[in-house]
């Protein structure tokens, strides 16, 4: 599991860790039943306070992304992918809302915003297909 | 021992006319990692030297592990590990020699543990101290501060002069060897973003006063910048604590404490506003350069001005 912490960011460290873990669950890179590093290990690895990591694990357990098994450690929960996806949907909607607000502030119309979104999608799809051909 | 490893109650300290600490009050709970932040010259080192009984206070009360450092400095120092800001050690000694030299000063010195830490922190035992790099020097200091198994560890700006990689390594050592073993760590710095990953709690010292003490996680939620139009600024409640205020054309940007309350009341009153999340450096700056350096009555005045603007 590779996580990246940005120090001094406006996003609290605990949120950074939680978001990245739920992203890894949503994308299937963390598989249900997979064992998570212990609080101590992850704290050391990231050079982050153990209490912070513990709080993140507890929060993700509450959100049903992880489960703690007595005496065995912390594991990725069975439905982690769909739960993670749902959580990400919410934050994606929030980000889109902010982008839309910026667009409106710049004087763009709804039509133009949709057009920009379509263009962005097209670019992604065409670069993905180029990569496929190359490989 | 009480729940507080360190306690300062309304402590004053002056050097001639220079008032370094003025009514400084804070508590450090046992078992936590506490970051003590302030600009250069804010009084951090003075406060630390008082904790160890190296300086006497003019007024107020200090307890370290339940002891008064002024009355029982040796009692305090035997139970506290201390790493000074620019710890000078005998340059001609080899690292291994200074470990043996220090041992008899402490009844609880554990020499095997000292050697173990030296290995963990990659301190070259056969090298003379004057040939150590800055990073090795700090880590040797840490070995010396920890080998008597102190309950409380006081580190005066340990990360100063370390490169980013060494800092991260240092934080790792701190987490594994100190937090992992349940010790209280008191750690001074002038870089809020550096202490954020490791500290449970932070206190900001400015001009000899604690201007804020908070759980690290809560600080960001509590302190935010709010941008609203100057006309709407009358909606800023009298009781809101404004840390920093900037007018820009028809807009007013204020950094406030208890931001959630204010956002809610602005929302209830239907006042248009924008909330900006701040990073820790910006929060620190708001506390140490903002209006809150002013006396309380001036603070109220600033708010009145903000209200009128």
**Can you tell me the ipTM of this complex?**
0.73
Cα distance between residue B82 and residue B63, in whole Å: 16
Q: Which residues contact B252 (CB under 8 A, 6 or more apart)?
A: B227, B228, B229, B230, B233, B245, B246, B306, B309
Distance of CA B183 to the CA centre of its chain: 16
Tell me what the pLDDT averaged over chain A comes to.
87
DSSP B91-154: TTSBHHHHHHHHGGG-TT--HHHHHHHHHHTT--TTSBGGG--HHHHHHHHHHHHHTT--SEEE
CB contact under 8 Å between A8 and B197, yes or no, is: no
- Tell me: the pLDDT tens digits for B104-144? 999 999 999 999 989 988 899 999 999 998 888 988 998 99
Predicted pLDDT at B8: 94
Q: A83 to chain B, minimum CA–CA distance in Å?
A: 25
Taken in order of first residue, the domains within chain B and their CATH numbers are 4-217 (3.40.50.300), 223-308 (3.30.70)
Q: How confident is the model at residue B237 (pLDDT cuts 50, 70, 90)?
A: low
B220: three-class secondary structure by DSSP:
helix
**pLDDT tens-digit readout, B172-198:** 888 888 888 889 999 998 888 888 889
Do A7 and B172 count as a contact with CB atoms less than 8 A apart?
A: no
Calculate how close chain B gets to A69, using CA atoms only, in Å.
21
The beta-carbon neighbor of B197 closest among A7, A11, A40 is A7
- What average pLDDT does the structure give for chain B? 86
């Amino acid at each position: 599991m590779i996580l990246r912490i940005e120090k001094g960011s406006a996003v609290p460290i605990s949120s950074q860790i939680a978001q990245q873990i739920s992203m890894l669950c949503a994308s299937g890179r963390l598989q249900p039943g997979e064992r998570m590093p212990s609080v101590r290990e992850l704290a050391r690895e990231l050079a982050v306070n153990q209490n912070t990591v513990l709080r993140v694990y507890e929060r993700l357990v509450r959100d049903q992304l992880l489960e703690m098994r007595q005496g065995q450690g912390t594991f990725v929960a069975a439905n982690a992918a769909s739960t993670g996806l749902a959580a990400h949907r919410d934050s994606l909607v929030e980000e889109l809302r902010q982008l839309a607000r910026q667009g409106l502030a710049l004087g763009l119309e709804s039509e133009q915003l949709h057009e920009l979104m379509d263009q962005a999608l097209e670019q992604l799809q065409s670069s993905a297909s180029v990569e496929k051909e190359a490989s | 021992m009480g729940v507080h490893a360190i306690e300062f109650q309304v402590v004053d300290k002056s050097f001639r006319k220079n008032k370094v600490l003025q009514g400084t009050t804070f508590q450090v709970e046992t078992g936590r990692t506490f970051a003590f932040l302030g600009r250069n010259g804010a009084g951090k080192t003075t406060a630390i030297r008082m904790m160890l009984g190296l300086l006497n206070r003019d007024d107020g009360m200090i307890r370290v592990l339940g002891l008064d450092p002024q009355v029982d400095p040796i009692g305090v120092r035997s139970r506290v590990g201390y790493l000074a800001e620019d710890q000078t050690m005998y340059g001609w000694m080899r690292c291994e020699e200074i470990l043996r030299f220090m041992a008899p000063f402490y009844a609880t010195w554990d020499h095997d543990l000292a050697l173990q830490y030296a290995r963990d922190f990659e301190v070259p035992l056969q090298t003379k101290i004057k040939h150590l790099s800055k990073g090795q020097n700090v880590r040797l200091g840490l070995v010396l501060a920890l080998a008597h198994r102190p309950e409380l560890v006081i580190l005066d700006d340990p990360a100063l002069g370390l490169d980013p990689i060494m800092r991260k390594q240092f934080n790792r050592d701190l987490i594994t060897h100190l937090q992992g073993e349940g010790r209280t760590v008191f750690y001074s710095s002038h870089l809020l973003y550096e202490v954020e990953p490791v500290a449970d709690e932070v206190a900001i010292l400015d001009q000899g006063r604690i201007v804020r003490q908070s759980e690290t996680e809560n600080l960001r939620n509590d302190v935010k910048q709010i941008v609203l139009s100057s006309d709407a600024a009358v909606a800023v409640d009298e009781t809101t604590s404004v840390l920093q205020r900037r007018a820009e054309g028809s807009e007013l940007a204020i950094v406030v404490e208890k931001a959630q309350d204010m956002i809610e009341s602005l929302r209830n009153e239907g006042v248009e506003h924008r909330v900006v999340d701040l990073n820790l450096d910006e929060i620190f700056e708001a506390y140490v350069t903002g209006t809150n350096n002013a006396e309380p009555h001036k603070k109220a005045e600033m708010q009145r001005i903000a209200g009128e603007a």
